[in-house]
Structure 1
Amino acid sequence: MKSLPLPLSHTQKPIRWHVAQGLLLTLLIALAARWLSELSWLAVVGQLVIAMLLGMLCRTFVGVKEQWQAGISFSSKRLLRLGIILLGMRLNLGDMLRMGPSLLVIAIINVAFTLIIVYTLARWLKTSETLSLLTACGTAICGAAAVAAIAPQLKAKEEEIALSAAIVALLGTLFTIGYTLLYPLLGLAPGSYGIFAGATLHEVAHVVAAAAPGGQAAVDLAVMVKLTRVAMLVPVAIIIGFWSQRTQRQRAGAHLHFHPQPKSNWRSLPIPWFIGGFLLMSAIHTTGIVPTAIANDLVWLAYLFIAMAMAGLGLNVQWAHFRHLGARPLMASLIGSLLLAGLGYTLVSWLGISAF
């Protein structure tokens, strides 16, 4: 006798409910991280890293049901891309152009220098290629958001993403405290100090906190320079995509006597299309057609989605893997951060930049 299909209530509804449960878990963690990040002593760490750490703690002490994985995976992959796209609402391309070429030059030099130094040091210290690139991008561009945006290009493991984000957060926090203490001794005008902070620190939260002793003008300049570095995420992601695809083809060809070339089409291009969405949202924001209040709400939503993604990431990371990968990329990022601070201070001092 032919069996009848099970009704919707016995098949699809439980599956959808489990997906919803996984999404709800990441949402609750992201909201808790948002609340914690508003505490003065945790603000410098930032919502994204706190969400990842809360996810790791939840997995360790509470546990995660297997049926929740679909919803958690949806957060860590799909919502991540959507969050990166919406984050473009924070970037005004016109403001960057009006600030003159000097800031763009500083951003390009600092990003390129840090990428090369951190990656080279990490590889010299026998760190994996993927972990080296993730740590370099997080240090050079914009912390955890850069790590999350670059990771799909490299097909990175979740523990590699988590470790890279945590390293950047730890060092960024330490350097923020150091900048604040050293501000009276640096001999920089408030505007120059703001540019120095924005050109060398890791997360936007770090930049704002470190520039605060210089006053509001220093903070404004620091954020603008930082967002210029954030804009470097687009070309860097595209370059890494092409480089990663070429490396994979070379490795595949090394194991085969005959390796036919795959057919080329626009879908096969190693361009992270969600980064294209980020740039499109930046262009829309630049036109001014989106009211400031709505743009701010979209940025808030972007960070919520990315925090849900980081929570999902943390929910799939085991502390044992985290400890195993540890000290070498941390050392590479530390040395790279110190050299970046020295380079940034030198550039600001030589160019005599204070305001635009």
Structure 2
Amino acid sequence: MPIMRFAKIKTLMPGIFVSTIVGLAALFLSEHYGAPAMLFALLLGIAMSFLYEGTDCREGIEFTATHVLRIGVALLGLRVAFGDLIALGWKTGLLLVVAILSTIGVGLILAKFLGLQKRFGVLTGGAVGICGASAAMAISAVLPDDKNKDRDTLLTIIGVTAFSTIAMILYPIIAAQLGLDEVSTSIFLGGTIHDVAQVVGAGYSVSEPAGDLATLTKLVRVAFLMPVVLCILLVLKLNIKSGVKSQKIKMPAFLIAFFLLMSVNSLMDLPSALISGATDISRFALVVSIAAIGMKSNLSQILTVGIKPILLLLIETVWIAGLILFALPFLA
């Protein structure tokens, strides 16, 4: 048995190693050029996709794109606590729930209208509504296997990362032009920008208090990741979604870990060093797994999907931004 385990580890190591190297390169480029690490990881992974076909790296890349991804998502649980909802107030919490659910609903409706799969609408709507690339990977992890699953995940990550970066630059300007006060600006930034890093960048570009509140608002959105994924699992289990074959669907271990870690963070005053360390490990795991997903991609297949997926992501992004802006006066 130990010999078999060693052989398995030996088989996985080449793919894990190259994924890690690409992830480290992405983090290096991100720190020196200011662009999102996940975007660099995707682009570098796509450039290295030849390693996935016809080399010894295939199994390790598959492992990294699935299991390492789930470790990264599970550790996100330490970034949020139940008390965050209370700190924001029930009106803001309710607004975020409506924003997330309606964005997923818009994704479903538009996907059907544009001739795309419903699962793609759920994937993009969840990514835009909750926490960008992290949500896309978590939702993708529980969706049934499909020949287009990796392609759709990759497209969603590319799209939400690009729109999140644009929003980080434009949304503080929009808030200033609309004359929003500091609190409203913070809720707008935290409630609409897709990725946590871009929310932090946008919020602290306004002021330190705005950055703190925007980040808190964003982390509350992250807290809704687990309930949304659980709802998706329930829908799949009940076979409500068309095109999903009957199958036994179990509760993924990474979702259980996410909930347990969030509960521990809510009930105990954990050392800041522990939270910071877990956040760094989570970020690194997600960057490495995105690099692996990029390596699994088929660039020619991605280029054939056309403008519709980007249009879907754009409309979802505009929807959640417009909804939050419309509702801000009612939060006072």
| TM-score clears 0.5 | yes
- Give 3-state SS (helix, strand or coil) of 2:291's partner: helix
Deviations 1:159-193 (A, max 9, x none): 11101111111111222222133232121111210
Gaps in structure 2 of 5+ consecutive residues: none
Report if aligned partners of 2:52, 2:61 keep a CA contact under 8 Å in 1: no
Match of 1:290 in 2: 270
Deviation for aligned residue 1:339: 1.9
The alignment status of 1:206 with 2:186, answered yes or no, reads no
Which amino acid counterpart does residue 35 of structure 1 have in structure 2? F
The alignment status of 1:195 with 2:198, answered yes or no, reads no
- Give 3-state SS (helix, strand or coil) of 1:226's partner: helix
Q: Displaced runs of 4+ in structure 1, greater than 6 A? A: 11-14
Deviation for aligned residue 1:52: 2.0
Alignment: residue pair count: 327
Report if aligned partners of 1:33, 1:47 keep a CA contact under 8 Å in 2: yes
CA distance in 2, matches of 1:277, 1:13: 27
- Give 3-state SS (helix, strand or coil) of 1:126's partner: coil
Match of 2:21 in 1: 28
Match of 2:213 in 1: 221
Shift of the 272–347 alpha-carbon distance from structure 1 to 2, 3 Å rule, reads farther
Shift of the 314–106 alpha-carbon distance from structure 1 to 2, 3 Å rule, reads same
* Greater mean alpha carbon deviation, residues 313-322 or residues 129-138: 129-138
Report if aligned partners of 1:234, 1:275 keep a CA contact under 8 Å in 2: yes
Report if aligned partners of 2:172, 2:206 keep a CA contact under 8 Å in 1: no
CA distance in 2, matches of 1:13, 1:297: 29
- Give 3-state SS (helix, strand or coil) of 1:54's partner: helix
CA distance in 2, matches of 1:271, 1:103: 30
- Give 3-state SS (helix, strand or coil) of 2:57's partner: helix
Deviations 1:70-94 (A, max 9, x none): 1111111111111111111111222
Report if aligned partners of 1:64, 1:315 keep a CA contact under 8 Å in 2: no
Deviation for aligned residue 1:144: 0.6
The alignment status of 1:117 with 2:109, answered yes or no, reads no
Deviation for aligned residue 1:214: 2.1
Deviation for aligned residue 1:151: 0.7
Deviation for aligned residue 1:150: 0.6
TM-score (norm 2): 0.91
CA distance in 2, matches of 1:311, 1:241: 26
The Cα RMSD (Å) is 2.3
CA distance in 2, matches of 1:191, 1:99: 11
State which of 126, 132, 139 in structure 2 corresponds to 1:137.
126
CA distance in 2, matches of 1:93, 1:270: 25
Deviation for aligned residue 1:21: 1.3
Deviation for aligned residue 1:292: 0.8
State which of 20, 34, 38 in structure 1 corresponds to 2:31.
38
Deviation for aligned residue 1:301: 0.5
The alignment status of 1:328 with 2:318, answered yes or no, reads no
Deviations 1:100-125 (A, max 9, x none): 21221121011011111122112210
Gaps in structure 1 of 5+ consecutive residues: 1-7, 254-260, 263-267
Report if aligned partners of 2:130, 2:221 keep a CA contact under 8 Å in 1: yes
Q: Percent identity?
A: 27
Deviation for aligned residue 1:297: 0.5
Deviation for aligned residue 1:32: 1.5
Q: Equivalences for 1:101-180 in 2 at 5 Å?
A: 101-156=90-145, 157-180=149-172
Match of 1:318 in 2: 298
Deviations 1:178-212 (A, max 9, x none): 21332321211112101111011111122112223
Report if aligned partners of 2:154, 2:294 keep a CA contact under 8 Å in 1: yes
State which of 318, 325, 331 in structure 2 corresponds to 1:338.
318
Match of 2:252 in 1: 272
Greater C-alpha radius of gyration: 1
- Give 3-state SS (helix, strand or coil) of 1:66's partner: coil
CA distance in 2, matches of 1:12, 1:244: 34
- Give 3-state SS (helix, strand or coil) of 2:297's partner: coil
- Give 3-state SS (helix, strand or coil) of 1:85's partner: helix
Report if aligned partners of 2:38, 2:290 keep a CA contact under 8 Å in 1: yes
CA distance in 1, matches of 2:159, 2:57: 28
CA distance in 2, matches of 1:230, 1:249: 25
CA distance in 2, matches of 1:127, 1:114: 16
Match of 1:230 in 2: 222
CA distance in 2, matches of 1:135, 1:98: 28
Match of 1:19 in 2: 12
